[in-house]
Amino acid sequence: MSTISRCTNCGSTQLIRQTRREEYSYKGRSYSVMQPGLYCQNCSEAFLSKEDIEVTEAELIRARREIDSLLSPDEIKKVRKSLELTQAQASELFGGGSQSFSKYERGIVLHGKALDILLRLLDSGSISLMTISNLHDTDNALVQTVTTSTTSSTARSINVPLNEFTYGLVLHNSSMTGRTPTVYCHESLETSIMSDFFKTTRKSSIPEESIPSVGNY
């Protein structure tokens, strides 16, 4: 950033480098960060360098991480090391870019809720690293076949693409409920489809008595 001697907003030359408290709001919660920069003493206009912005960004990420109750950089590093993965290996396995875990562990990028849940499941032993590793195929995608029964002898199948995290949850949830992954997907998918169907038909002119029940499928 070039040297600024005059405020571009009001024209004042009274510019002083200071650190001021700035207020922010995120998901209904207020928080503040200390923002360094060059401030106009006449109109309070702020002029921020790249370094000033980086300081603020790190503070914003920290505050949002706390509000979202996400793992801290040190906790992410601890889980990764317990899985005996390098940053590059973790980035390849969980996605987000080749340098994602380096950025997560330095606190300069905020990881998502889905990854946070997956790391917690791995750390607790609810899902094994082997299970996650086995989910990767040549296309880096998964397909789970869901078979739905009909009143006839014919069965209809739907191939549902699931990403690694979603399928990991399928394995976890099915084991916790004592069902096979296929049965779990079948019942969950059917319930979700019927729920959406009833929601949409209630808003339409279709008589409720003409809506088929789940047992008719």
CATH (domain of 58): 3.10.20.860
Same domain, 23 and 77: no
Q: How confident is the model at residue 201 (pLDDT cuts 50, 70, 90)?
A: low
Q: What local confidence, expressed as pLDDT, does residue 179 receive?
A: 77
**Entry pTM:** 0.56
Report whether 94 contacts 118 (CB < 8 A). yes
Let me know if residue 2 belongs to a domain: no
Computed over its alpha carbons, how large is the radius of gyration of the chain?
26
Q: How confident is the model at residue 197 (pLDDT cuts 50, 70, 90)?
A: low
- As a whole number of angstroms, the distance between CA 195 and CA 214 comes to 10
Let me know if residue 157 belongs to a domain: yes
Q: What local confidence, expressed as pLDDT, does residue 94 receive?
A: 87
Q: What local confidence, expressed as pLDDT, does residue 141 receive?
A: 40
Q: Which residues contact 156 (CB under 8 A, 6 or more apart)?
A: 147, 148, 150
Q: Which residues contact 143 (CB under 8 A, 6 or more apart)?
A: 159, 160, 161, 162
Residue 88: CATH number of its domain: 1.10.260.40
Same domain, 207 and 153: yes
- Pick the more confident residue, 194 or 40: 40
Mean per-residue pLDDT over the chain, rounded: 78
Which domain-ending residue is among 90, 118, 134?
Answer: 134
Q: What local confidence, expressed as pLDDT, does residue 188 receive?
A: 79
Let me know if residue 1 belongs to a domain: no
Proportion of the chain above pLDDT 70, given as a percent? 73
Same domain, 156 and 199: yes
Q: How confident is the model at residue 143 (pLDDT cuts 50, 70, 90)?
A: very low
Let me know if residue 193 belongs to a domain: yes
pLDDT at 192 over 60: yes
Let me know if residue 101 belongs to a domain: yes
What are the pLDDT digits (tens) for 148-160?
Answer: 444 444 455 566 6
Q: What local confidence, expressed as pLDDT, does residue 98 receive?
A: 86
Q: What local confidence, expressed as pLDDT, does residue 156 receive?
A: 57
**Secondary element (H or E) of residue 36:** strand 29-40
Q: What local confidence, expressed as pLDDT, does residue 72 receive?
A: 96
Name the 3-class secondary structure at 140. Answer: coil
* Count: domains in the chain: 3
- Pick the more confident residue, 147 or 4: 4
pLDDT at 166 over 60: yes
- Pick the more confident residue, 180 or 93: 93
| CA–CA distances in Å: residue 97 to residues 88, 102, 209 | 9, 10, 52
Same domain, 123 and 174: no
Same domain, 163 and 125: no
What are the pLDDT digits (tens) for 27-53?
Answer: 899 988 899 999 999 999 999 999 998
Q: 61: domain range?
A: 15-67
Give the pLDDT mean for 178-182.
76
Which domain-ending residue is among 116, 134, 152?
Answer: 134
